[in-house]
Amino acid sequence: MKTLIRPLLVIFVVLAALTGLAYPAVVMLVGQSAFHAQANGSLVEQNGKVVGSALIGQSFDKPGYFWGRLSATTPMPYNAANSGGSNLGPLNPSLSDQIKARIAALKDAGTDVSKPVPIDLVTASASGLDPEISPAAAEYQIGRVANARHLPADTVAKLVADHTTGRQFGVFGEPRVNVLKLNLALDAAAPAAR
């Protein structure tokens, strides 16, 4: 039995050093050198100050800003430590109530809700953290944002077009608009009405 203990301890120490120290160090070095922004959370800075992450949604509810998807995270919206959807099924009355409340909020903020509302403006995502909306959801809000900021609708539409990202490699996913980056571009173009 004593003859087995020494080789087992050596194997344990070697594997612990490889998998617990060497491998994580190599992964960290590759991540920091080749993918620095992504490895550090895809942080978005403005005037040298971090204002958010391009990967996590934020709550915008003023009329002069584009609104993102709803967040179902608790205890607060867009809580990255508690990612998850609402898990409300299509026949659940709570889902219907949430949709009606969001449509009412859009209307109260000055959005023309006479046309069908894009689904991503009235429902939460599976993660509850989506930072992006569809181009249709952004276009739906152009009138409200333009009015609130006293900008021509064409100027706001151009900002939306400039911040629309196409499919990855031209094939995967859907076109999308990062709400935080678009709202920062709006702030640079014209301050939001208070």
pLDDT tens string 25-51: 999 999 899 988 888 888 888 888 988
Same domain, 107 and 149: yes
From residue 28, alpha-carbon distances to 7, 21, 22, 35, 41 in Å are 30, 11, 10, 10, 13
Residues of the domain holding 133: 42-189
Same domain, 58 and 7: no
Same domain, 96 and 180: yes
Is residue 194 one of the residues assigned to a domain? no
How much is the pTM?
A: 0.79
Give 149's contacts (C-beta < 8 A, 6+ positions apart).
64, 156, 186, 189, 190, 191, 192, 193
Q: Is pLDDT at 85 greater than 80 in this prediction?
A: no
Same domain, 21 and 76: no
Question: Exposed, middle or buried, 107 (CB in 10 Å: 0-12/13-18/19+)?
Answer: middle
pLDDT confidence of residue 193: 53
Same domain, 46 and 19: no
Q: Averaged over 131-144, what is the pLDDT?
A: 94
Report the candidate in 179, 170, 176 with the shortest Cα–Cα distance to residue 77: 179
